Amino acid sequence: MFRAGDASELVGQRLRTALAAAGDDQIVFDLDGIAGRSAALRRELPGVRVRFAMKACPVDEVIGRLAGEGAGVDAASPGEIAQALAAGVAAGAIHYGNTVKSDRHIADAYRLGVRDFATDSVEDVAAIAAGAPGSRVFCRLATDGDGALWGLSRKCGCSVADAVLVLDRARELGLTPAGLSVHVGSQQLTVRAWRTAFDLIAEAITELSLRGIVLDHVNLGGGLPALGYLDRHGRALAPPLDAMFAAIRTGMRELRRLAPAPLDLVMEPGRHLVADHGVIRAHVSRLSARRRPDGRRQHWLYLSCGRFNGLYESDQLRYRLVFPTRSDADLVPAVVAGPTCDSDDILGAEPTLVPATVVSGDPVWILACGAYSVSYQTQGFNGFFPLPHTFAPSLVPASTPGPV
């Protein structure tokens, strides 16, 4: 059983200052922390081009700060493309990474200046050739998604055999068959998944070379984990990040040796860059107790923020809670839930130990909420409206935009 309050040391000074000053519910982002995570990624994987998966945190200031660090954007719609452009990302540093695209959206993206498109079928390639003539395409290979909290293995991606057909057809239609991509699953927790992905890419490169198709890049997708989550039972997730980076570096070297021409490597981190650098300041609605039908007494802690206010991912994970104004010396196990009347609005599979003295209005810090908390907020379910977002005080001036 997770003990709320144990995680207060995980809140950095910049975030702590902003949270302490917050009088109302909000999401606070640490832009310096996000930039620092991006710099650490580039150190671990030198030479890799970063395309931020903006769906993880579609906040202009976050996109702009990462662009200042040299990152482009992985966009999934014309709406995201337009937002990235407005935030200062160059069109040449944006790719349309969604394999699901209507004819209209392809044409809109092309009109906005995007020339790099993900694909996974000959039907989609034909649509790209019609709506975005002469563009570059990269074909997404399907992975099994094993080892990730969200496998992402059903909707997108194709087999190696189909990838050869797709890119061959792209060449016939006047497109440039430029690359391959994979996605090992969101919040991937194993090293094996990366090794398997590299084996799959190597097989595809070999088969494509036999057709005379020479690629110029491989997109390794997303999947790099955040570090601050708990599993559904309240145990700390401990992804082997150092071993993952080592496996990726090894895989990159092997692909470059295998490829018949120089090969660029791209990654689409989203969660990994932002999750640990966003905290929700919420408050206690009520701590109450009632008897279940079996006669057992059960405590419930209701918060002002729940699954419909940005914490949708609590189906697979739990968020660390901090009660900054209460001692945790006297604790009670409580089911933690959001403020709506929906029975699905529960955070975690098991009770959490919470301070028994909390009262309505007490602040609660919900950690590691920087990823998807903005994206997953409803527009007012039960009258609970999206949280505003603010930013921790920056100690470092914004970088001069670097190469993307």
Catalytic center residues: 341
The rounded distance, in Å, linking the Cα atoms of 127 and 137 is: 12
- Which tokens belong to 83? 């937002």
Residue 274 to residue 368: CA distance in whole angstroms: 8
Cα 307 from Cα 314, distance rounded (Å): 7
State the Cα torsion 135-184-308-86 to the nearest 10°.
-30
Quote the strand ranges of 8-147, DSSP E: 26-29, 49-53, 72-75, 94-96, 116-119, 136-140
3-state SS, residue 290:
strand
Give the Cα separation of 183 and 174 in Å (integer). Answer: 27
Rounded distance between C-alpha atoms, residue 276 and residue 4, angstroms: 17
Measuring CA to CA, how many Å separate 386 from each of 206, 304, 341, 351? 48, 11, 17, 26
Q: For the beta carbon of residue 295, count every other beta carbon within 10 angstroms.
A: 6
CA gap 25, 8 in Å, rounded: 18
- The DSSP symbol for 9 reads G
Asked if 366 contacts 11 with a C-beta cutoff of 8 angstroms, the reply is no
- Amino acid letter, residue 318: R
Q: Which of 270, 290, 285 lies closest to 221 in space, CA to CA?
A: 270
- Residue carrying structure tokens 């002002």: 304
SS3 171: helix
